[in-house]
Amino acid sequence: MTNANPHRPIRGGAKAPAALPKRGGVGLKPEHFRHILDAQPDIGFFEVHAENYMVAGGPFHHYLERIRADHALSIHGVGLSIGGEDPLDELHLDRLAALLARYQPESFSEHLAWSSHGGAFFNDLLPAPYHAGTLARVCAHIDRVQERLGRRMLLENPATYVEFEASTMTETDFIAEVVRRTGCGLLLDVNNAYVSCTNHHRDARAYLRALPLAAVGEIHLAGHAREVDAAGAPLLIDSHGAPVAEAVWALYDFALSLVGPQPTLIERDNDLPAFAVLAAVARQAEIVMARHAKLEVAA
């Protein structure tokens, strides 16, 4: 893992935890808890949504504790609303700090999006305009998160369906500036990049090249659904309910040509298949990684 900005150490600085292995990982779903404990699969890492484990006890913690004991872990938040206009929810940050203290994950990540406004939580990753005001808020929020958690976080690029007239920056410039100012890392969601670039008619490879790639600490791969907008143009939906599309595998291959092998998560939240299916996709990612590892050595 590389630090994008060595001049700006993370405040509150506990020593950096071990990094995720540069292997394929799988999103941990309760439907697979028992199978994973019984079968002990060889998986690079598991990733959980932080909010699902913000409960006192019971089966979720029972299984996560046991699975975590044998595997690397990434905790992925979906509720901080880092892109929101509301102040950060300090109570939520406390819950997150407690969860991280309990499980000591190798990685913590969140989204460039908002999900709360006026005290209501919308349970969706909503888009924000890219301008100086949002930039200042997002950076202040990430500074606070990294300070409170005592660690560097990764920020995930979003899948979006609309753009804002008020935007004055491109998404890639916005993300690059956030990384530069806060020292956070980048969780490169290749499916999100593909979905957004299709939805906004951009060149996905140029989009990837314009990101602060030195900050990449993890990659996400997922499936999307295909619809059309009011003019009949393709509108891709980040559904996490289908196999990873061929075009996304190709973009992943291209991304690795730029950043080399990276911890790569297979995300699946809808129409969940058997665990073995997801494990096979994680191995597929490792095959692509192995090819790029050889290229790195050759170069």
Q: Which is nearer to other proteins, 84 or 263 (CB)?
A: 84
Q: Which two tokens stand for residue 142?
A: 């990430």
Kindly state the smallest distance separating residue 72's Cβ from other proteins, in Å.
19
Instruction: Identify the sign of the CA torsion 110, 116, 120, 122.
Output: negative
Kindly state the smallest distance separating residue 68's Cβ from other proteins, in Å.
15
Kindly state the smallest distance separating residue 48's Cβ from other proteins, in Å.
8
What is the C-alpha separation between 53 and 73, in angstroms, rounded? Answer: 13
Q: Which two tokens stand for residue 106?
A: 């190798």
- With tokens 């998560």, the residue in question is 265
Q: Which is nearer to other proteins, 152 or 268 (CB)?
A: 268
Kindly state the smallest distance separating residue 3's Cβ from other proteins, in Å.
25
φ and ψ at residue 26, rounded to 5 degrees: -130, 140
Which 8-state DSSP code applies to residue 44?
S
What is the C-alpha separation between 284 and 264, in angstroms, rounded? Answer: 10
Kindly state the smallest distance separating residue 215's Cβ from other proteins, in Å.
20
Q: Which is nearer to other proteins, 244 or 289 (CB)?
A: 244
Q: Which is nearer to other proteins, 128 or 256 (CB)?
A: 128
Q: Which is nearer to other proteins, 62 or 294 (CB)?
A: 62
Question: By the 8 A CB rule, do 51 and 123 touch?
Answer: no
Q: Which is nearer to other proteins, 9 or 30 (CB)?
A: 30
Q: Which two tokens stand for residue 236?
A: 């891709």
What stretches of 10-159 adopt beta strand conformation (E)? 24-27, 45-49, 72-76, 107-111, 114-117, 120-126, 154-156
Kindly state the smallest distance separating residue 237's Cβ from other proteins, in Å.
5
What is the C-alpha separation between 159 and 113, in angstroms, rounded? Answer: 9
